[in-house]
Chain A
Amino acid sequence: MSVTSGNILEVRGLQTQFNTLDGVVRAVDGVSFDLARGETLGIVGESGCGKSVTALSILRLIPPETGRIAGGSIKFEGEELTTLGEEAMKGLRGHRISMIFQEPMTSLNPVLTVGTQIAENVVRHMGVSWRAARERSFEMLDLVRIADARRRLDEYPHQLSGGMRQRVMIALALSCDPQVLIADEPTTALDVTIQAQILDLMLELKEKTGTAIVLITHDLGVIAETTERVVVMYAGRKVEEAPVEALFAEPLHPYTRGLMRAIPRLDIEADAAGMRPRLQEIPGLVPRLTQPIPGCAFAPRCGFATERCRAEPPPLVDAGGGHTVACWEVDRVRASAL
């Protein structure tokens, strides 16, 4: 484990599990990554691979009735979060680490005004008056380019479009100048033109504030446009990590390659309905996470799979230049065409 050098967040061997009727779901099974100050890290993977659970684990928002962090360590500025007291954790949430959720339509409280929902965060963490917090809320709405921000403060979420609600969420998340912003598929629920605007806005604000961002998405196109480094997740595990150029120049994991063939590419024009052509899905299904997977989780869907793949989990190995991959057959993969 490294010393806290430039890293604001260090996740090591994170394991998060849920008790369900079918058994224990190992939603996150030994994931590690670092986030440097001011960096934008992407986490990518298919639906259900544990991206949201990873994000919620960092904020310790896993519903305690069914889920728990079963192992590993999460260090924020050198401080261990997995064992931090609940009150101290509350002091971090929305203040030093904040989050934007996947579903803008349902993430804001329908019966409270937008102004109240932003201002309460400011009052909670900055110890200022409601009046000052309201002024701050106005500035934030203005910053995320909501027109007529002063009037919007007194509006309810149902009076705003999906794109505007996500802007409100961004304003809320950044209202106390967090060091880390976790954006969990912030644009997935929005239509394509709005998606680009929201991503641009986030990057622009990041430049201004120096906030480090964990950007979660299942869209490699978004990753290519916005992040510096990428973690690829599959079935609750990290299968590959690389600087973004290296990943796109030479993806080393068969799963990453599969994802790349499936990219709805941003450089291909959207059709009239605003949809880009979907290229190629990876055949097969994500494995059930209730049974421990003995070998490589991707083996049932992998064209390179061997006996060893099914029997022994591949360790993460350094492929040079900050590129790591967990695949037994990496040399064969490298030699093959994309």
Chain B
Amino acid sequence: MRKLILAVVLLAIFALMPLAADLLGQNALQTLSARILIYAMAAASLNLILGYGGMVSFGHAAYFGVGAYVVGILYSHWMSEVPIFGLFPGSNQLLITLPAAMLLSGFAALVIGALSLRTGGIQFIMITLAFAQMIFFLFVSLTAYGGEDGIIIRRSNEVPGLNMRDKTTVYYVILVVAVLYFAWMWRVVNSSFGQVLKGIRQNERRMEAMGIATFRYKLYAFVLAGMGAGLAGALMANFLRFTSPDMMHWTKSGELIIMVILGGLGTFFGPILGAAAFLILEFYLADWTEHWQLGLGIILLFVVLFTKGGILGMIDRLRGGRQ
């Protein structure tokens, strides 16, 4: 019940944001809100493996970047009318580019996961980081697609019946995708698979003794998480109308981890609150001082040291304290 109320409140805030931004004459608020939605999805996908599954992947921005590049590359081939590898035509249709982005980022996660999930602990962190950096440098060196400068997408992908030149329309498309994604995530974390995943985080050895070959389940979660990040990246490319290797830099992976921890590991709403807190802090602190990351660092330290379970944990305890 509490969760339902929180969901409705969050949905109302995001749905009314364009109106509020208009009334306040603060267009930047709509942009901020869209970025929060997109990063919330990326953070939620990471939370599936990090928070629910206990896999500390330090390369999650790679899938975000791959998703963004799928949109960028499909767009540039659609513009030039040259098929990719002489085989596939480009596309500027969102209903094609989003599934394509999920497919390719999922495939990247399948390969990287298969090669790294046999390890654990620090080794796993370093291997996922190394693979993500390899993908980063691959795109930096791809001069055909802009190299370091990335790809400029002159127009957001089209959706039949919608005017995607209107920023507010794009905003609502992002919101709809985010709502669908979180509805899907709700199912996953409460499913049979979700239960197995939570078990694996707590005690992998016990799960094996129950007859669960944990590797397959971890890989499945890893691929689902990669697809989610790819979806978010594809939306980001549409929103920014731009994609570059910066989107998959290791610092982006770090930011996603921070969002998940900030919001509350392994909680459903944590990634949304974490992404919101992170981006709002960045928005206001960056205005105020160029050393905003120092401020962020201090706040993060506070959260980790003094709140158990991030922002959600803090709210829970404040409520508990009052009763």
Q: Do A and B come from one complex?
A: no
